[in-house]
Chain A
Amino acid sequence: MTGNLVVQFLAQGAQMFFVLLIAPLAVGVVRRVKARLMRRQGAPLLQGYRDLAKLLRKESVVAENASWLFRSAPSLIFALTWVAAALIPTFASGLMYNWAADVVALVALLGAARALLALAGMDVGTSFGGIGSSREMMIATLAEPAMMLIVLTLAIAAGTTRLAGVADFFIAEPLAVRVSMALSLLALVIVALAENARIPVDNPVTHLELTMVHEAMVLEYSGRHLALIEAAGMLKLVLYLSLLICLFAPFGMAPATAGVDGWALGLLAWTVKLLGGAALLGVWEVSIAKMRVFRLPDFVGIAFVFAFLAILLAFLSRGAIE
């Protein structure tokens, strides 16, 4: 039993490092796909790692009037995002800390990271930071409730708010098209786009200060601070992709009882699905224009409406069964 505990612990730790390790690669895949679709060579897939290494080595320039919040925010944001990303079941559903992988906790962790980033954006007092923070909060006020509704819809279906439980439920249940699930999926994709500052909500590669959302908040960061923020951004992408995989395409995930073999298979399946998701994101991003800032409420609002309909349908169908 002790041996089993150690293996379990190691597996949980491995998951934590897998998400961190693969995050720059996932972003590299998105960038590479976009570049190729624009007939450019594109940066190597491993560029994300090099960028982080470079930033970590560089000196961090901090504005004179920056407070402790500005300095500590990157570490906190990184830690919160990492924990959140590590909680989501990736290759196996029965890991040691899966009981902690509660969707409500997940939303809370991400919300805390976002609040810190928005505060840090305003801390130095530059106009761009302020613009970025205000836009981020505008998006968040719409995306967060939608996110809550989505997870609750799934929780109603699976009877638990534990992600591993939900994944187990979807693996066990025969695949059946459910309207509420389809609506949740759409809503979650929209929320994921908004949360990760992707087109059409934000453009991660823009150099136009006035149009930025996420980038505007982190304009003042450099060196290792920026490396942490960038890494947190990459982790967030992996987090949302993993969440989508875990909830809507969990096949291949090792069940609670699986051993090391099952885990290896699960890891392979997850990696393939994750990178596939990243490639899809790249295709999506080159095929659409960025939205006007004031159209964003409509777009993210759609997510809320879908999520609301999904939870309504979930309630109704439950009632019918009972």
Chain B
Amino acid sequence: MSAIGPLAGLIAGRDAAPDGYVRLDVEPEVWTELAQGCAAGSHDLSALWVDDDRVCMALGGEGLRAIVSLRTEAGAYPSVAAHHAPAMRLERAMRDLHGVRPVGLPDTRPWLDHGRWPGRESAARYKFLTAEGEGLHQIAVGPVHAGIIEPGHFRFTANGETVVRLEERLGYVHKGVEGLLAGADVARGAAIVGRISGDSTVAYAWAFARAVEAALGWAVPPRAVLLRGIMAELERLSHHINDVGGICNDASVLTINARCTLQREDVLAVANACFGHRLMMDRIVPGGVTVDLSADGIGRIRGLLSRLEETRAEILRVYDSMPSLQDRTVTTGIVSPDLVRQYAAGGFVGRAAGRAFDTRKNFPYAPYDQLPFDIKTRTTSDVDARLLVRMDEIAESLKIVGLMLDWLALGDIRSCGPAAVASEGAALVEAFRGDVFRSVRIAASGTLARVHVRDASWFQWPLLEAAVEGNIVADFPLCNKSFNCSYSGHDL
């Protein structure tokens, strides 16, 4: 293979669609070659999904993006996971949801299908991977937990207190989102997408809106673009501050958590006052946003920014001055940077391992293409690094929200949509967890023919298994919180 990699060679000379993706149909040989390219590290696997009788693969490399599709032969196609492990769960889910047959898929256990769906019940037991050795014992945790959190099952194999293997079992909150979206009109689609994962509703809705806008050639007023940016950063701020508190809480430092909880509440209250909804759900729709920000609201957000800056500085000071807390976070839950690169994990998981990827920077979209901000990375890849990356991002977000408020000029916040045509669009948006991918195919009638939703967690959950290995059982909650992967966004 040439030095520029198989992807660059393939798409050389082709024009990208308005959404930045080069689309092309490929033959099975090229498909497999691209899968091997993912494994070799020449490009990243971004998403993999089934669309009618085709399988599609979104790939990303240095400044280039492509969606390649392959026609399946009666549902069969060459497995990507056979060459590139990160595709494993994606393909297992594709088998469950669409009945395709990835030929050569190494792990053929179901993933989202727990044998409970009407019409296809199965009593077959799920076989967890084995770990054998003297003195090993299993600990089953979940799916119902002692705290109020989402459901997921964790199967630990431990030797005393040391974790030998962790295996996750997800899919408990599967709700058939992609089925609901098929055939829905665009407005309903936006409402459904905004409800897939409530904690990332802004990012999800934005990604969906951008995909639809790219497909239809729908222009968005500049004021709406900035408002979207402000909402997305407020969402990021509220979750980062909450996660920092949550990590400290899991190390039993209740004071930092109390402070963070108060600060998060402050963000949500301001969001409610400015945009009419604490989580800003349904505020971003294709074509713009549904609520405008008043002058009073701008003042509120500016006040919030200064309070957040104060809290951030104070928490950082307390964190730095607590050796007993750092003793818990430093060197806990290390994921090897090689694995992070292989899985192309985004968000704080990637950036804490030195992977300088942020959609806002690498594939910039308005308004981030104009905004000056830095991507801070760390290299230790432990709980401490993931916490500090969040703290760094809070600082950057505060800076750019202030800039966006400065730039906010009067104008429309929503534009009318162009006439519907059969079209396709895709978008990558940086949610607080990392990059979320949306692909939308619109039918000639204007309804959604196929929407694919890929959360950042698909490539972070498997890394959690790796991070916990070799740690002690009691440190799992800390590692888990530092990843804070989505259940609902993953189970679809």
B258 touches A289 (CB 8 A): no
Tell me the nearest residue of chain A to B324, going by C-beta. A289
Asked whether B141 is an interface residue with its Cβ less than 8 Å from the other chain, the reply is yes
Instruction: Knowing A289-B322, A289-B325 are in contact, say whether A210-B141 is a contact too (CB < 8 A).
Output: yes
In B232-289, the 8 Å CB interface with A consists of 248, 250-255, 257-258, 262
Q: How far is the CA of A128 from the CA of B476 in the complex (A)?
A: 14
A209 touches B140 (CB 8 A): no
B255 touches A37 (CB 8 A): yes
B475 touches A209 (CB 8 A): no
Binding-face segment, A45-53, A200-208, A239-247, A305-313: A200-208
Residues of B within 8 Å of A207, CB to CB, are 145-147
Binary interface encoding of chain A residues 98-134 relative to chain B, with 1 for a CB under 8 A from any of its CBs, else 0: 0000000000000000000000000000011011001
Asked whether A29 is an interface residue with its Cβ less than 8 Å from the other chain, the reply is no
Q: How far is the CA of A207 from the CA of B473 in the complex (A)?
A: 15
Asked whether A211 is an interface residue with its Cβ less than 8 Å from the other chain, the reply is yes
A contacts with B, residue count (CB < 8 A): 32
Residues of B within 8 Å of A269, CB to CB, are none
B41 to chain A, nearest CB (A): 35
Q: How far is the CA of A291 from the CA of B477 in the complex (A)?
A: 14
Residues of B within 8 Å of A214, CB to CB, are none
Asked whether B139 is an interface residue with its Cβ less than 8 Å from the other chain, the reply is yes
Binding-face segment, A76-84, A177-185, A292-300: A292-300
In B106-162, the 8 Å CB interface with A consists of 137-141, 145-147, 160-161
Asked whether A286 is an interface residue with its Cβ less than 8 Å from the other chain, the reply is yes
Asked whether A199 is an interface residue with its Cβ less than 8 Å from the other chain, the reply is yes
B319 to chain A, nearest CB (A): 10
Residues of A within 8 Å of B141, CB to CB, are 209-210
> CB within 8 A of B474: which of A34, A210, A286?
A210
Residues of B within 8 Å of A58, CB to CB, are none
Residues of B within 8 Å of A292, CB to CB, are 327-328, 472, 474-475
Q: How far is the CA of A135 from the CA of B251 in the complex (A)?
A: 17
B252 touches A287 (CB 8 A): no
Most chain B C-beta atoms within 10 Å of own C-beta, residue among A205, A209, A210, A285: A210
Residues of B within 8 Å of A134, CB to CB, are 160
B contacts with A, residue count (CB < 8 A): 31
Residues of A within 8 Å of B472, CB to CB, are 292-294
Q: How far is the CA of A206 from the CA of B257 in the complex (A)?
A: 13
Q: How far is the CA of A127 from the CA of B472 in the complex (A)?
A: 15
In A252-289, the 8 Å CB interface with B consists of 285-289
Q: How far is the CA of A128 from the CA of B474 in the complex (A)?
A: 11
In A12-64, the 8 Å CB interface with B consists of 34, 37-40
Residues of A within 8 Å of B139, CB to CB, are 127-128, 131, 210
Residues of B within 8 Å of A286, CB to CB, are 254-255
In A125-154, the 8 Å CB interface with B consists of 127-128, 130-131, 134-135
B476 touches A210 (CB 8 A): yes
Most chain A C-beta atoms within 10 Å of own C-beta, residue among B139, B253, B474, B476: B474
B474 touches A200 (CB 8 A): no
Asked whether A290 is an interface residue with its Cβ less than 8 Å from the other chain, the reply is yes
Instruction: Knowing A38-B254, A38-B255, A39-B262 are in contact, say whether A291-B161 is a contact too (CB < 8 A).
Output: no
A79 to chain B, nearest CB (A): 29
In B314-351, the 8 Å CB interface with A consists of 322, 324-325, 327-328
A40 touches B474 (CB 8 A): no
> CB within 8 A of A290: which of B140, B160, B252?
B252
Instruction: Knowing A127-B139, A203-B252, A211-B477 are in contact, say whether A290-B145 is a contact too (CB < 8 A).
Output: no
Residues of A within 8 Å of B257, CB to CB, are 38
A289 touches B328 (CB 8 A): yes
Tell me the nearest residue of chain B to A209, going by C-beta. B146
A293 touches B161 (CB 8 A): yes
Residues of B within 8 Å of A293, CB to CB, are 161, 472-474
Q: How far is the CA of A135 from the CA of B161 in the complex (A)?
A: 9
Q: How far is the CA of A6 from the CA of B252 in the complex (A)?
A: 49
A290 touches B147 (CB 8 A): no
B252 touches A127 (CB 8 A): no
B252 touches A209 (CB 8 A): no
Residues of B within 8 Å of A37, CB to CB, are 255
A199 to chain B, nearest CB (A): 5
B314 to chain A, nearest CB (A): 13
Tell me the nearest residue of chain A to B332, going by C-beta. A292
B250 touches A208 (CB 8 A): yes
Tell me the nearest residue of chain B to A39, going by C-beta. B258
B251 touches A290 (CB 8 A): yes
Residues of A within 8 Å of B253, CB to CB, are 288-289
B440 to chain A, nearest CB (A): 39
Residues of B within 8 Å of A208, CB to CB, are 146-147, 250, 477
Residues of B within 8 Å of A40, CB to CB, are 258
Q: How far is the CA of A34 from the CA of B258 in the complex (A)?
A: 11
Tell me the nearest residue of chain B to A37, going by C-beta. B255
Tell me the nearest residue of chain A to B326, going by C-beta. A289
Instruction: Knowing A208-B146, A209-B146, A211-B474 are in contact, say whether A291-B324 is a contact too (CB < 8 A).
Output: yes
Known: A205-B254, A290-B251. 16 other contacts (CB 8 A): A38-B257, A127-B138, A130-B137, A200-B252, A209-B141, A210-B139, A210-B477, A211-B250, A211-B474, A288-B324, A289-B248, A289-B251, A289-B253, A290-B252, A291-B328, A293-B472
* Chain A residues proximal to chain B, CB less than 8 Å: 34, 37-40, 127-128, 130-131, 134-135, 199-200, 203, 205-211, 285-295
CB<8 Å pairs between A and B, sample of 6: A38-B255, A128-B139, A135-B161, A200-B324, A288-B324, A289-B324
Closest CB pairs A-B (n = 8): A290-B252, A38-B258, A207-B147, A289-B325, A289-B324, A127-B139, A208-B477, A207-B146
